[in-house]
Copies of this chain bind each other. A is one copy, B any other.
Amino acid sequence: MSHTIYDIARKAGVSIATVSRVFNESSKVSAATRKKVLHIANKVGYQPQGYARGLASRQSNVIIAVVPLLSNYFFLQVLNGIQGVISETDFELHIYNVKPEENPLKQLKRLLGRRWADGYLFVSVHLDEDDWAEVARLNQRMVLIDDAYSGCDYFQINNKKGARKATKFFLDRGFEHIGMITAAKRSIPAGKRCKGFLEIQREYGLTPDDSLVVRGSTAYRDGFNERNGYEAMHQLLALDSPPEAVVCVSDIQAIGALSAMKEQGIRIPIIGYDDIQLSEYIGLSTMRQPMYKMGREGARLLLDSLSERPSELVQENYTPELILRSTTNGIEQ
């Protein structure tokens, strides 16, 4: 059914080497020959087969972005940044999901071992140093976004600092009884944000109350979902002494929390986390993370390191920025 390089060569009266050269933009083919080959190829709809090409040339021109369970708004932003950069090149972007049910290290090793791609971008994939080291040993070009490993390029955001900033905003305005809506225990970023939340309170001489740190029961997306925020907020409001303000580990949960408050006709200042695009329209105060930017820079770095000899490691740390909107209005400055 489908044609091979041999068919094209035969029909064009040239050797397969020449056909190959035409498709590889090698300059070493005369304009006349190129035209002839291209004409025939177009007519029969020939295109070099990806697998054969990959095998013979040992490169694929594909970049794989590895993300955990798609459907997180955070990834979307990052992916958009990546996409923007990649689409300006000849590379192709494929997106690969690591499944939450299976050991991630195992999945990564399986993926990289297969050698589909010329380079990999890991977005929000969280492993510890040892595990990353094991992945790095597979010797593929990679850069991490939203995680760090000392032996590799990365772009990271400081989760602890972000949560500290949000909490500090309330502390500086005299609040001493602050709630936190966090996510699943296994979530590393949620853990760090929680830590920052507690840490700064202690620095202010307060003893954080455990009952004010809550998480909903839903495991979907590691607890980063609306329902979770909704449940958690109800839980907080049911407390003997409900919080005077709330810090949340994601915007999406904050939206659920807002809905819970509305239901009970209560309004407590709240700060989310991420600054997803919606938040502006909801009026949600939040910690902005440079998602798009990290995507762009990560992709750019990866692409560069594919062509040039990589020089030294690029390891950047960002701190989220506090964006104030209406959910924190009316608090005395």
Residues of A within 8 A of B (CB): 1-2, 45-52, 54-55, 60, 64, 69-71, 76-77, 79-80, 83, 87, 92-97, 99, 101, 109-110, 113-116, 137-139, 225-226, 230, 252, 255-256, 258-259, 262, 277-278, 280-283
Contacts and interface: CB of A to CB of B under 8 A. Distances in A.
Contacts of A76: 70-71, 76
A116 B99 CA distance: 21
Contact of A97 (B93, B225, B277): B93
Given A79-B71, A83-B97, A116-B50, A258 B281 contact: yes
A99 B87 contact: yes
Contact of A115 (B51, B71, B96): B51
A45 B113 contact: yes
A333 to B, nearest CB: 23
Integer count of this chain's copies in the complex: 2
A92 B66 CA distance: 13
B55 A51 contact: yes
Contacts of A138: 45
A94 B67 CA distance: 11
Contacts of A258: 281
A267 to B, nearest CB: 15
Contact of A114 (B49, B55, B255, B256): B49
Contacts of A255: 278, 281-282
Given A94-B95, A281-B258, A70 B47 contact: no
The 7 A-B pairs at the shortest CB distance, nearest first, are namely A47-B113, A51-B54, A50-B114, A95-B95, A259-B281, A51-B55, A94-B94
A259 B283 contact: yes
